[in-house]
Structure 1
Amino acid sequence: MISSALQIALAHHAAWTGKDLDLAMSYLAEDVVCEAPAGRIEGVEAYRAFLAPLAEHVLIRAELIAAFGDETTALIMYDTETVPAASAPAAECFTVREGLIVHNRFVFDRTPFDAFARRGQ
């Protein structure tokens, strides 16, 4: 049986990697906090602004590697193929309360993305 937090995390992941940002945002609390290599992101609109360029313009595909969770925490690891990198692994650790993601620790290697941005693409 898949835990409730993991179900929500996987649904959010499937939505944003499927480029459905409206659905992806529906899994987030309005005051969600995301800690990412780019810094601390607060609120659902800021989260969308952070995720939209990746989902809409950079992401080619995502492959789930592993997923674990309990009633309040979920951890997923996946590999993405992106415009700047054939392999860009990432992991996200979610905290879920009352059916919504309230916190996300998003970890990925920024190196290929920074190099791509410096090339002006």
Structure 2
Amino acid sequence: MSSPALEIALAHHRAWTRKDLDLAMSYIADDVVCDAPAGRLNGIQAYREFMTPLVERFLIRAEMIASFGDDSTALLMYNTETVPAKSAPAAECVTVRDGKIVYNRFVFDRTPFDEFRRQQAQAAS
């Protein structure tokens, strides 16, 4: 079963997991709010800056586990394989209004990414 919010959430997910950040950002509202493990992000530019390292440097592939939605809300759970972590499960609960994601509650474990950055910083020292 599909829903308007789920269609937008899945289109956004497909775009960024195919490393097409420009297309992915076309599904994001200018005034988007994203609550992520690192804290709250406000606006499309902050959201893009948050997504860019994942998409451009870390992402190897992603596999959808489950997705559900209704008229305004969608929930995606997926597993990503990344440079820092072979398995990095994540979930996003998004609110969609007028065909754009206006809110994203993005949940994932930052530990492998923080450790990867720490190791890179030590290697550069």
TM-score bracket, normalised by the shorter chain, equals: over 0.9
Partner of 1:37: 37
Partner of 2:117: 117
AA aligned opposite 1:20? D
**Aligned counterparts of 1:22 and 1:45: Cα–Cα separation in 2:** 12
Deviation, structure 1 residue 60: 0.2
**Aligned counterparts of 2:41 and 2:66: Cα–Cα separation in 1:** 25
Measured on the aligned residues, the alpha-carbon RMSD in Å equals: 0.8
Task: Give CA deviations for 1:55-96 in whole Å, capped at 9, x if unaligned.
Answer: 011000000000000000000000000001100000000000
Deviation, structure 1 residue 29: 0.6
Partner of 2:68: 68
Deviation, structure 1 residue 120: 1.2
TM-score w.r.t. length of structure 2:
0.95
**Aligned counterparts of 1:3 and 1:86: Cα–Cα separation in 2:** 31
Runs (5+) with no aligned partner, structure 2: none
AA aligned opposite 1:50? F
Q: Which consecutive segments of 4 or more residues in structure 1 shift more than 2 A?
A: none
Runs (5+) with no aligned partner, structure 1: none
Question: What is the total number of aligned residue pairs between the two structures?
Answer: 121
Deviation, structure 1 residue 50: 0.4
- 2:109 is aligned with 1:103: no
